[in-house]
Structure 1
Amino acid sequence: MKLRPIKTEADYQATLKAIELLFNAAPNTPESDRLDVLSTLVEAYEKEHCAIELPDPIEAIQYYMDTRGWSRHDLESCLGSRANVTEVLSRKRPLTLEMIRKLNQELGIPAEILIQPYELMQTSA
């Protein structure tokens, strides 16, 4: 396979097959160099054509809680109070900058996920 930019889905699939054949290449060999170059090409193509959307902030909080075995009570340290936890998780209150910082530090949720805009529930006045 001649090295060239990946421009089509067919190019992408062919490059993935070439990578698979080189996957066990010994370090510091022409094959491992070729693997590095092909991997870089695939990464660039995927970044442009296969972008994965960030998850919804509230769904991300719930996922991180579930995977760490956290309860709503545990979330109070990040969101400030039981009422805040309820209102944030039910989408009645937006996350504040301080809440985002604490969620990032304590749960490890990336800030770029938490700062995204998201739908709040409309409250009747």
Structure 2
Amino acid sequence: MKIDINYLNSIVLQPIISEDDFKWASEVIDNLVDADMIEDPTLKERALNLLDAVTTLAIAYEKKHYPIPTPSPLVAIKQRMEMLNLSQKDVATYFGGENRVSEVLNGKRNLNLKMIKKLYQNLKIPADILLS
């Protein structure tokens, strides 16, 4: 991969406070995404450092201006089950039986602390989501 030293030197780190700044950061990230393939060790290190810094700034802007809403506990459970290709029968022990799984997933029963603990431990669903 060939990166021009002049391009790297033209990148000035600054806070990302507008959509134009964010678009600029996205372009820089696109241009430097393969920086680990640069052969020259000095250029490679500079490019990777710039990529890291610009990415950090872009992520901060994204979190502030495009927050990802926290899913409800039911949505989180269903998503995790889908991701892991689990059926209600597979997770029944976390709920205390197949009937309770159905009741919880249909919104007829609330999660209790025992269920939350088992879901957190076994499905790795963040506790703050399960408690919301």
- Is this a same-fold pair by TM over 0.5? yes
Report the TM-score, using the length of structure 1 for normalisation: 0.81
Structure 1: distance between partners of 2:25 and 2:63 = 15
Which of 10, 22, 31 is the matching residue for 2:20?
10
> Could you say which residue in structure 2 is the equivalent of 1:52?
68
> Could you say which residue in structure 1 is the equivalent of 2:116?
100
Offset from partner CA, 1:5-38 (integer Å, 9 cap, x none): 0000111011110111112224652222111111
Gaps of 5+ in 2: 1-10
Classify 1:39/1:87 alpha carbon distance in 2 versus 1 (closer, same or farther; 3 Å): same
Structure 1: distance between partners of 2:54 and 2:83 = 35
Q: CA RMSD for the aligned pairs?
A: 1.7
Between stretches 26-35 and 6-15, larger displacement belongs to: 26-35
Offset from partner CA, 1:37-78 (integer Å, 9 cap, x none): 111111111121111012221122122223323222222210
> Could you say which residue in structure 1 is the equivalent of 2:78?
62
Please state which structure has a larger fraction of its residues in helix. 2
Gaps of 5+ in 1: 117-125
Q: How many residues align?
A: 116
Alignment map for 1:25-36 (pairs within 5 Å): 25=35, 26=38, 29-36=45-52
Offset from partner CA, 1:90-123 (integer Å, 9 cap, x none): 111111111011011122222222111xxxxxxx
Classify 1:67/1:44 alpha carbon distance in 2 versus 1 (closer, same or farther; 3 Å): closer
Deviation of 1:88 (Å):
0.8
